[in-house]
Amino acid sequence: GMFQSESPAASVSAYLILNLFLLLFLPVDLSPEERSELEDIRRRKGALLQEIQRLRDELREAIIEVEGLETSTEGSKTLQKNRHVAMGRKKFNMDPKKGIVFLVENELLRHTQEDVAQFLYKGEGLNKTAIGDYLGEREDFNLKVLQAFVDLHEFTDLNLVQALRQFLWSFRLPGEAQKIDRMMEAFAQRYCHCNPGVFQSTDTCYVLSFAIIMLNTSLHNPNVRDKPGLDRFISMNRGINEGGDLPEDLLRNLYDSIKNEPFKIPEDDGNDLTHTFFNPDREGWLLKLGGRVKTWKRRWFILTDNCLYYFEYTTDKEPRGIIPLENLSIREVEDPRKPNCFELYIPNNRGQLIKACKTEADGRVVEGNHNVYRISAPTPEEKDEWIHHINSAVSVDPFYEMLAARKKRISLKKNEEQP
Ligand SMILES: *[C@@H]1O[C@H](CO)[C@@H](O)[C@H](O)[C@H]1NC(C)=O
Ligand SMILES: *[C@@H]1O[C@H](CO)[C@@H](O)[C@H](O)[C@H]1NC(C)=O
Ligand SMILES: *[C@@H]1O[C@H](CO)[C@@H](O)[C@H](O)[C@H]1NC(C)=O
C-alpha cells in the first residue's frame, strides 16, 4: 500500500526493466565493445537485484514496526513495558537507586533481594560501575542484595584465580576500602562455601585474594619495576593458612595463571585496585618556598614511601630534603607571587615546626625550618594531581589496615589453638 508508490524500490525496478529490455533486443552477434557492455549490464543487474532485496528487507522491518505500534495502541503493553525496562536501565546507570525504584514502581522488578540481585547479575544493559556502586551501599537492603548477588556466582571446582576473574568481571569494584572489604569478605565466604577444605578459614581466602590482586599489578603494571618471582609469592604467603602454609602446588598454579593472563576489570581506565590503595609514586618539577629565606627554588620532587623527597637535579643521588608526610595535611592556597600553590601543614598547629631534614650546601644535614611547606605547581592540573596523590599518601592507608586486621585475626586464632 502506502510504501510501494513512494519506495525507492519502485524506481529501481523501472531501471532494471529498462536494462532487461535492452538486453532482450540486443543483436546476437556482438562486437567486443558490445560484449563488454553486456557484461557491464549483467553486473549492474546483479547489483540492482541485491539492492532490491535490501529494500524489501527494510520494508518488511518497517511494516513489522508499524504493526507493533498498532497492536500496542490496541492494548498490548509489551512495547510499553520494554520501553520502561530500557528507561529503568538508563536511570539505573545514572543513579542506581533511582533506577531500582523506577523499575519497582512500574512493576517490572520485585523489591526482594533475590530479584534485584538476579537483575544485577544478569546485568543486561547495565553499567558495571553502577552495579558496583549499588552493591557497595551500606544500607540494609543493599547489603542483602550483595549477599544474594555473590551467592549467584558458582565457584565450585574453580581455583581462586578463576573465581576472582569471574567475580571481578561481574561489576566494577568501588574505590572505598570499607566497600571493598565487605565485597571481598562476601566473596571469600562464597568461595569457601563452594570449595570446602581448600582453605582453613575465610580469612585465609580473603588475604590470599588480595595477595593475588597485588601480584597481578606487580606482574603486569609497567610502572612496577620490581617483578616478584614465584619464590617471593610463596614466601609472602607463609603462615596465612591459620598459621600453616598453603600447598606450594596451589600457590604455583595461582601464580602461573596470573602471570599468563592479567585480571581484566570492567571499564578499565587504568585505575586498578593498586591505584586505589597504594600511592603510586609521582615525580616532577615544583617550586618550593624557602623556610628561612623566602625565595622560590625549583626542585625535582619525588613522592614515595609516604615521604616527599626533593632534589636539585633529576640526576642527583642524594636528596636536598626529605619531608615525611606522617601527620601532615595538605591544602590549596593563594599566593600573590606564584600560581597553583598548595601547602603542607600540621593540623591544629601551635607553632611547631614540621619534622623534616635537609642538606646544607656544605653537606651538613640539618632539621627543616618550616611551619608550612608552600609549593607551586606549573599548571592547575599538576597542582590537582599532586594534591590528590599527597592526600592519599598522608591519609592512613585503609587497605593496609584492613589486611593487617585479617592477618592479626589469623595469628590470634593460631595462638588460641596453642595454649
Ligand atoms: C559507566 O559509568 C561510569 C561512571 O558514571 C562512566 O565513567 C562510564 O563511562 C560508564 N560506562 C559506559 C560503558 O557507559
Ligand atoms: C591487573 O593488572 C592489569 C594490568 O596492570 C590491570 O589492567 C587490571 O586492572 C588489574 N586488575 C586488578 C583487579 O587490579
Ligand atoms: C604523629 O602523631 C603520632 C600521634 O600523635 C605520634 O606518636 C608520632 O610521633 C607523630 N609522628 C611524627 C613524624 O610526627
Tell me: the pLDDT tens digits for 281-296? 688 899 999 988 899 9
Distance between CA atoms of 79 and 258, rounded to whole angstroms?
46
> What are 148's three cell numbers?
544474594
Give the ligand with the smallest distance to the CA of 368.
Answer: 3
pLDDT band at 5 (very low <50, low <70, confident <90, very high): very low
Q: Is the pLDDT of residue 139 over 70?
A: yes
| Percent of the chain that is helix, strand, coil (3-state, to 5) | 55, 10, 35
- Is 203 a member of any domain? yes
Inter-residue contact 186 to 171 (CB < 8 Å): no
Per-residue pLDDT tens over the stretch 374-397? 999 999 999 999 998 888 777 666
List residues with catalytic annotation: 176
The whole domain housing 200 covers 154-275
Shortest-distance Cα residue to atom 14 of ligand 1: 127
Domain shared by 190 and 114, yes or no:
no
Q: Please give the pLDDT value at position 76.
A: 67
Q: Please give the pLDDT value at position 120.
A: 98
Domain shared by 198 and 181, yes or no:
yes
β-pairing verdict for 341-345 and 372-376: antiparallel
Give the ligand with the smallest distance to the CA of 258.
Answer: 2
Q: Is the pLDDT of residue 27 over 50?
A: no
- Is 335 a member of any domain? yes
Pocket mutation for ligand 1, best pick of 91, 92, 94, 129 (most atoms within 8 Å of C-beta): 129
Three-class SS of residue 418? coil
Per-residue pLDDT tens over the stretch 147-161? 999 999 999 999 999
Q: Please give the pLDDT value at position 2.
A: 40
- Is 31 a member of any domain? no
Inter-residue contact 307 to 323 (CB < 8 Å): yes
Which ligand 3 atom is the nearest neighbour of the CA of 327?
1
Domain shared by 290 and 389, yes or no:
yes
Q: Separation of 159 CA from ligand 2 center, angstroms? A: 18
Question: How many other CB atoms are there within 10 angstroms of residue 22's CB atom?
Answer: 12
Q: Is the pLDDT of residue 127 over 90?
A: yes
Question: How many other CB atoms are there within 10 angstroms of residue 383's CB atom?
Answer: 19
Q: Please give the pLDDT value at position 60.
A: 79
Residue ending a domain, among 249, 275, 301, is 275
Inter-residue contact 135 to 142 (CB < 8 Å): yes
Per-residue pLDDT tens over the stretch 310-325? 999 888 878 899 998 8
Pocket mutation for ligand 1, best pick of 91, 127, 133, 172 (most atoms within 8 Å of C-beta): 127
Q: Is the pLDDT of residue 131 over 80?
A: yes
Greater model confidence, 325 or 222? 325
